[in-house]
Every structure is written in C-alpha cells, then in structure tokens.
C-alpha cells in the first residue's frame, strides 16, 4: 500500500472511529506499563553511565578552551548555524517542488533512513538532516576537547555516541515515518501489539527492559536446537559433562574436551546440524566431551575462578581420561573459557600435570593491556558499580553483561529490535542465533570480580602473575602446542589483542589463525557454507599489523585446517566409544538439564 493510499484510507470516518477505539486500548496498556515499572527492582545507577567527574572534566576543559580561543568556538557555532539553515532551506525546496519530483540524496547511506519519506517529505527530511548535523557537531566537540587523557577521551567519545544513537528520530513515534504509516495502515493495532510486546518483555524480566531478539516459542532446546546425540556422563555442582555419540566405526585415541564460555550456553556450537561444530567434530572421527556449565544462583556467590578451574576444567579432564582409558586429552576453550583454560594449563605446568596434549583457543584474551571496545566499562567507577550490584545476592545478573555487549552495537541489538517490536508491533524473528544470544547466564559475584579486577584491570596473567591455589601463574607457563583461532571483525576479543597474548606463551609450537567475520560467525563457520575465509602466517615474532600484512588469505572455513593440525596430536585409531562406561553410566540424554535453566533478572 502506498503512502497516499494509506492517507486516503485514514480520512474515512470508519477508520477514524476504529483508530480512536484502539488508542483507548493503548491508554489501558500504558497504565499496565506504569504498574510494572513501579515495582521494578532498581539496579545500581553507576551501571548506566560513567562517574559525573568525566563529564565535569570535559565541560571544564571545553569552557576553558572557549575562554582561551573564542574565535575557534565561534567558528564551530557559525558552521553549525550555517548547516542548520541549509537543512531548513532544503526542506523548503522539497516542499516547493512539484509533486512526484525526485528529491536529491543529501545524506550518507544509513539503514535507519531507508523510508523514501526521509528524502521526499520536508518534515522528515529536515528532522533527519538536523539530527545528522547535530551528531556531527557533538562528535567534533568531543574530539576537540583539550586537556583530556586518552582514556577519558575514549570514554567520552563512546558515551556521547550512545547519546547520539539514543536520540535518533527513528527511536520516537512522532518522528518515525515507518511506525506512523504502520499505525495508520493497521488502525492503531500495530501500537497495541507493540505495547503488548513491551509489557511481555518487562514482565519476563521483573521490570528490567531487555529487548527480546528472537521468537522464543519457535525454539526448544533438544528438539530443534542442540540436537546432536550424546549423553550426560558426569555431573557436579559446576557442570554437566556430555559425551557425544560416535558417527564413525573408529575414532582417534585421544579425546577432545571442549569448554564453552559460561556467560552464554554451549549450544552456540550446536545450533543446527548444518552449522554444528559439535556434530562436525564427531563426523571427523573424534571422541568429544563438552562441558555444560551451571546457571548459578545465590548459592554460588562465593564461587571463584578456583572452583571453575578445579571442579570444571581439571575434573572434566580427569573424567574424560577415566572414561576413555587414556593419559591425555586435547582441550578447547572458547572466549572466557579459553582465558581460563590458559590459566588452567599454567597451573598444570606448575603441578607437573601433563594431562593435556594440545590446546585450541577460540577468540580468547589472555593479555588485557589494551581493553579495546570494553575500555569504557572496565574503569573503576563501573567495576565499583558492578561490585555494589552484586551486593548481598552475590550474583551478577545476566542482563547486565548482555546489555553491555548489546550497547557495543546498539543500533543493531537495542534500538532496531525495539523499534520493530514496540513501535511496529512485529513478532521477533525465529532466528536461532538471536535466541541463543538472549539465553544468557548469571555470573557468581566472586568470579566476576576476580576476572574484572585481576585479569581485565590488573592484567595479572600477562604482567606480574595471577594468584590461584597458592601458585603465581604467568602466560609463559603455557608451553604445550597451541592453536589460537580469532576473528577479523571481533569487537569483543580483538584478534590483535588475542595475538599479543599468544606471543607471550612459552611453547615452541604455536599456530595463529584469523577468520573472517566476528566473534560468533567467524567461529561457527562450517566448510559446507563456503562463506568466510581465513588468514595464516607462521611468523609470530611480528607485531600484529605486520603479521596481517604478511599473512596468506585462504578461501573457506578454518575447520579443516584445524582438524589437520589436531589429527597429528590425537593418536592412533581405536574402536568407536559409546558414551560412558561402567563407572560413569549415562545420566540423561544430551543436551542435559543445566543448559535448560533460564536466567531472569
């Protein structure tokens, strides 16, 4: 339906009457919304913005600069006035143009402004152009604030960008033509549906606004995601150990033990058969164990990195060895589990434990000297607020970490989904990756603080040593063969930062790969898709830019290259192993019970 047809329809008496009726329903839902928000549990305000001292320093510096160099400030203001007047003139030009005449494209390509009305309608065109102008001036002002330390400038830039994104005209109904057209076309039903979506999301999260990214009714763990056959063969308070069923007559003697991050669930590696790394590994002839972590509650307040290492990593190694009757395993650690696997390997070196033959690290940071996009959140004011939020409950709620990750890509993961769900009344898509993204886990308070203070802020593992079980662990203690797989556009664990950590490891056999794409798609990249390639370079003495400059680009997935590397460290062929044995009978079918526990704020 065209805009003119929509407007014609909206003028009919019947349409107006139905629209009024639906607006009364909107009012009723609004009252429900207020009731929910009034009972919302408040989180620590320090989690929402940096300490006011940052903005005060910036304002003071800006004021001092204006006094010292008023001509420069006036030049900026005159430029702002000039652009504003030109925006208004362009709106008048469009208004005066003949109906149907094409308007010129006057702004950079931006997915938020794809509706033709942003160009052809003088009202929306002016709003858009003025928003873009305001955004440019704010960024320029931040860039030119003098006397700020680089860290403060980076934080100020990040949070000013967040304000810019939040104030986009697309985020407000009166200035969003897509939402207005939808409301007219549906006689207001889209607004009712949107408010119902909003109320449902708030009720599901105790009043905390967590935008639902996927249609949760479309997925069921164990039915259409996480379906690779296997059995839970061991369980303790920290994890379930899943052994997957073989798909070949023989397997390599040395089993694999895979540790996913405990911030999210393991089934990112088993979403569906077509892109399941777990399924693919079994098809290559390996015995695969995967750890499924507990989703902790208040009973886990005093659980730290030590418990994850002892009752998670070391226990999983021992159980896999006993079940398979071997002396060594190969290990995989993804993200924070790769960081902790590296700590575990350093501890095992101190103890003379040679149970792990090789380690594969997926997007794992071990040197935090440059904190990348997370720098704004890893300063004392935010970490202090996290400690305060943990408080008496002893748990860091999952939504806090999820929100932090989401705001690194706020237009894609916050505002865009909110507009579609709450303004347009659309049901979130049935997208398995987004379903997984919303299925987070709580973090034990002690572990979260150890990780943030000791590793992220103190960079103790790479600088000075990280204390665990009375041992001081260093990156150089990791001396077994390592392959590190990183991702080119990863904004969570930048490949160059991962590279710096691998360089400091003490082993002579180190392989480094950079996959195309990001933190998830670069890892979940099956050969059958033939979508993303990867970079290799054997010279790990180079700094990161030179390593990439001299790297070879390889078409296709890195999975086969990794499997060729792993095969050399996996021993002879033995008869395929069924899950468990007489000492460890199957407790239940994969994916087990722990993975099904949902975290709510």
DSSP secondary structure string, 408-441? TTHIIIIIHHHIIIIIS-PPPP--HHHHHHT---
Same domain assignment for residues 278 and 178: no
Same domain assignment for residues 153 and 242: no
Q: 312: which DSSP letter?
A: I
* Residue 443: φ, ψ to 5°: -120, 135
Residue 591, preceding peptide bond in cis (omega within 30° of 0):
yes
Domain end marker among 159, 185, 211? 185
Q: Do β-strands 510-515 and 534-536 pair in parallel, antiparallel, or remain unpaired?
A: antiparallel
Same domain assignment for residues 369 and 473: yes
- Report the range of poorest mean pLDDT among 6-10, 107-111, 426-430: 6-10
What are the start-end ranges of the E strands in 350-411? 356-362, 395-396
Choose between 600 and 32: higher pLDDT.
32
CB atoms under 10 Å from CB of 517, counted, come to: 18
Q: 17: which 2 tokens?
A: 């009457």
96 pLDDT band, cuts 50/70/90, is low
Residue 437 falls within a domain, yes or no? no
Domain end marker among 185, 214, 239? 185
Domain end marker among 160, 185, 210? 185
Residue 538 pLDDT exceeds 60: yes
The mean pLDDT value of the chain amounts to 86
From the candidates 335, 456, 487, 498, which is the catalytic residue? 335
Same domain assignment for residues 172 and 235: no
Range of the domain at 279: 230-397+442-596
CA distance 430 to 451: 34
Residue 373 falls within a domain, yes or no? yes
Can you give the C-alpha Rg of the chain in angstroms? 27
CA distance 326 to 253: 8
Which H or E run contains 353? none
Q: Do β-strands 256-259 and 329-334 pair in parallel, antiparallel, or remain unpaired?
A: parallel
Q: Which residue has 């349409």 as its token pair?
A: 15
Same domain assignment for residues 261 and 162: no
| Mean pLDDT of all residues in 36-56 | 61
Same domain assignment for residues 321 and 453: yes
Q: Are 513 and 558 in contact, with CB atoms under 8 Å apart?
A: yes
- Is 335 considered catalytic here? yes
Q: pLDDT > 70: what percent of the chain?
A: 82
pLDDT of residue 145: 77
Count structural domains, the chain.
2
pLDDT of residue 417: 92
Residue 522 falls within a domain, yes or no? yes
Same domain assignment for residues 167 and 235: no
Same domain assignment for residues 264 and 381: yes
Residue 407 falls within a domain, yes or no? no
Same domain assignment for residues 478 and 537: yes
Q: Which residue has 């009723």 as its token pair?
A: 28
Same domain assignment for residues 234 and 175: no
Residue 27 falls within a domain, yes or no? no
Same domain assignment for residues 291 and 387: yes
Choose between 213 and 391: higher pLDDT.
213
62 pLDDT band, cuts 50/70/90, is very low
Residue 254 falls within a domain, yes or no? yes
Residue 194 falls within a domain, yes or no? no
Same domain assignment for residues 245 and 181: no
| Mean pLDDT of all residues in 239-263 | 97
pLDDT tens for residues 153-192?
A: 888 888 888 888 988 999 988 889 898 888 888 888 888 8
Residue 369 falls within a domain, yes or no? yes
Task: List the CATH number of the domain containing 254.
Answer: 3.40.50.1820
């Amino acid at each position: 339906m065209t805009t003119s047809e929509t407007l014609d329809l909206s003028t009919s008496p019947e349409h107006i009457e139905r629209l009024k009726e639906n607006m009364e329903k909107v009012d009723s839902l609004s009252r429900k919304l207020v009731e929910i928000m009034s009972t919302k549990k408040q989180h620590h305000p320090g989690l929402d913005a940096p300490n006011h001292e940052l903005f005060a320093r910036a304002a003071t510096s800006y004021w001092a600069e204006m006094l010292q160099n008023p001509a420069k400030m006036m030049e900026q203001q005159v430029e702002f006035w000039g652009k504003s007047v030109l925006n208004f003139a362009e709106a008048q030009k469009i208004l005066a143009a003949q109906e149907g005449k094409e308007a010129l494209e006057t702004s950079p390509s931006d997915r938020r402004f794809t509706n033709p009305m942003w160009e052809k309608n003088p009202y929306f065109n002016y709003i858009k152009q003025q928003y873009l102008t305001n955004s440019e001036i704010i960024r320029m002002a931040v860039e030119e604030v003098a006397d700020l330390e680089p860290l403060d400038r980076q934080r100020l830039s990040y949070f000013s960008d967040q304000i810019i994104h939040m104030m986009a005209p697309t985020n407000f109904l009166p200035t969003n033509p897509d939402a207005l057209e939808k409301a007219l076309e549906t006689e207001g039903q889209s607004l009712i549906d949107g408010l119902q979506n909003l109320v449902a999301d708030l009720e599901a999260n105790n009043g905390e606004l967590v935008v639902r990214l996927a249609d949760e009714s479309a997925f069921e763990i164990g039915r259409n995601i996480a379906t690779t056959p296997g059995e839970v063969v061991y369980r303790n308070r920290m994890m379930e150990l899943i052994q997957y069923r073989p798909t070949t007559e023989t397997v390599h003697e040395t089993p694999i033990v895979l540790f996913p991050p405990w911030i999210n669930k393991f089934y990112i590696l088993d979403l569906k058969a077509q892109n399941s790394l777990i399924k693919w590994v079994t098809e290559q002839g390996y015995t695969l164990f995967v750890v499924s972590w507990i989703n902790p509650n208040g009973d886990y307040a005093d659980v730290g990195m030590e418990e994850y290492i002892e009752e998670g990593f070391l226990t999983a190694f021992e159980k896999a060895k006993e079940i398979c009757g071997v002396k060594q395993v190969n290990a995989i650690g993804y993200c924070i589990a790769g960081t902790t696997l590296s700590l575990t390997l350093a501890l095992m070196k101190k103890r003379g434990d040679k149970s792990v033959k090789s380690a594969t690290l997926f997007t794992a940071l071990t040197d935090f000297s440059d904190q990348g996009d997370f720098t704004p959140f890893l300063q004392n004011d935010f970490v202090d607020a996290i400690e305060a939020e943990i408080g008496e409950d002893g748990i860091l709620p999952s939504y806090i970490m999820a929100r932090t990750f989401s705001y690194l890509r706020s237009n894609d993961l916050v505002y865009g989904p909110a507009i579609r769900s709450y303004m347009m009344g659309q049901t979130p898509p049935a997208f398995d990756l987004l379903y997984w993204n919303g299925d987070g886990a709580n973090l034990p308070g002690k572990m979260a603080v150890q990780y943030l203070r000791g590793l992220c802020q103190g960079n103790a593992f790479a600088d000075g040593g990280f204390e665990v079980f009375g041992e001081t662990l260093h990156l150089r203690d990791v001396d077994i063969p390592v392959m590190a797989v990183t991702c080119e556009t990863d904004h969570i664990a930048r490949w160059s930062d991962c590279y710096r950590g691998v360089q400091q490891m003490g082993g002579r056999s180190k392989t480094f790969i950079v996959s195309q794409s990001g933190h998830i798609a670069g890892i979940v990249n099956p050969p059958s898709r033939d979508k993303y390639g990867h970079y290799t370079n054997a010279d790990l003495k180079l700094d990161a830019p030179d390593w990439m400059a001299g790297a070879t680009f390889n078409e296709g997935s890195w999975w086969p290259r990794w499997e060729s590397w792993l095969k050399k460290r996996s021993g002879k062929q033995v008869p395929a192993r069924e899950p468990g044995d007489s000492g460890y009978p199957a407790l239940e079918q994969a994916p087990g019970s722990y993975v099904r526990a949902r975290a709510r704020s």
